[in-house]
Structure 1
Amino acid sequence: MNKTNINDFQEIISGRRSIRNYDPSVKISKEEMTEILQKATLAPSSLNLQPWRFLVIDSSEGKATLAPLAKFNQTQVNTSAAVIAVFVDMNSVNHLEEIYDEAVRKGYMPPEVRDQQIPAIKGYINDAPTEKYKEMNLIDGGIVSMQLMLAARAHGYDTNPIGGFEKDQIAEAFGMDKDRYYPVMLISIGKAADAGYQSVRLPVEQITEWK
């Protein structure tokens, strides 16, 4: 797959379209998909907890399971190389020590900062209402999803973010703990079979104030 010039950021962002119809003959290797996901995970997250979790649905069996859960998005499910279900892990704090220890090992963080921040973060999360913690994670899930779509485009693929699916059923349908993993969105990915549609954006002057 020929990649878009990854240094041409203007082309990546201005050429992005929400593509619903893909060339079903084009597949994405596990190695390349891993590279795309790795670039997506360079996105920022609150407290660097990285709560995002990905389910790559690219087999015929997986798509058959997904199809009834995304009734209004059958074209994307059937023709895309894959549909990526983005979740947030409500137990992401369990990886706090792993993340911060690695930051210390690599010299990114002094040990004393780690030792101060870990108990403070745990205390904050333990005291935070569940809905507030979920909201924080969902913001991070949205950020990583956008970065995933841009990374896919830099690899020469197109995407479509999908919010209309059975969010209360998808985790359990794929053997995941629905109380722990909360769905953010589905993202179809593949080689576009058509050009998609350009869309209008409100002018910055209309949506921005300076004080």
Structure 2
Amino acid sequence: MNLKEVYEGRRAINFFDTNKGVEAGLLKDIINLAVLAPSAFNLQPWEIIAVKSKEGKERLHKFAAQPKILEAPVTLIIVGNKTGYEASNPTWNDMLKLMGGDKEKLAGTQGMAAGLYGTSNENKLKFAESNAGLLAMSIMYAAKSLGVDSHAMSGMDFEGVRKEFELDENKTVVMLISLGHLDESNTLYPRAYRRGYDEIVKEV
């Protein structure tokens, strides 16, 4: 499947086949491909909770009452780290190596990141959500390329999900992505119209 086919073939699946799972190895392949998504300073301020068990699905469903959570073999909770720019992020160690061990240069880059993202709660939230959003879309395209369908969801009690799954206050729940396979006894609506360049782009 080439990239154009992945884009054209990906759909938001409303009906998941409850008899078809997503093997652990395949889920790892999807995530390991998806993390090639870009992020600010390559800080990768994200994490994922893979909800697979019946008990886990029921816990999540309390705060996001969508049937897909119970039907799909796995639903991912996409989490952004609002303080992922801080020096404690282990990805800075990789950057230090790329900088030839120049700690002064690294400190300057860390200061730049803190100035861009850490000066207000709004900036922290934007940092977490925009980067985790890049990962989320990457997951859905990676899944489609490997034969797995998906559906993204943002209708939930975000704070309820955060507390239920014991996430720290510096973490924010960005969205959910159910993964599985279309229940072919149901038919999806035709793809809805998409506005193109002439409608959404303003040249200046």
Output the TM-score relative to the length of structure 1.
0.85
Tell me whether 163-172 or 31-40 shows the greater mean CA deviation. Answer: 31-40
Query: Identity of counterpart residues, as a percentage?
Result: 22
Does the Cα contact within 8 Å between 1:96 and 1:118 map onto a contact in 2?
no
C-alpha distance in 1 between matches for 2:107 and 2:192: 44
Query: 2:19 corresponds to which residue?
Result: 25
1:82-101 to structure 2, matched below 5 A, reads: 82-94=74-86, 98-101=90-93
User: What is the deviation of 1:109?
Assistant: 4.0
Displacement of 1:96 = 5.5
Alpha-carbon deviation of 1:119?
A: 4.3
- The partner residue of 2:73 within 75, 81, 86 is 81
Instruction: Give the distance between the partners of 2:84 and 2:149, measured in 1 at CA.
Output: 29
TM-score in terms of structure 2 length: 0.88
Root-mean-square deviation over aligned CA pairs: 2.0
Q: What SS does the corresponding residue of 1:168 show, helix, strand or coil?
A: helix
**Where does structure 2 lack aligned partners over 5 or more consecutive residues?**
none
- Which segment is superposed worse, 167-176 or 149-158? 167-176
Per-residue displacement from partner, 1:107-156 (whole Å, max 9, x unpaired)? x44333x6413344246426511211211221111111000000010110
> C-alpha distance in 1, partners of 2:35/2:83?
18
- Paired residues of 2:76 and 2:177 also in contact (CA < 8 A): yes
Cα distance in structure 2, aligned partners of 1:54 and 1:95: 21
Match of 1:203 among 192, 196, 204: 196
Matched, 1:192 2:156: no
1:140 aligned onto 2:131 = yes
In structure 1, list runs of 5 or more residues that go unmatched.
none
**Count of residue pairs brought into register by the alignment:** 199
Output the amino acid matched with 1:81: P
Aligned match for 2:166, one of 175, 188, 198: 175
Q: Runs of at least 4 residues of structure 1 off by over 4 A?
A: 94-97
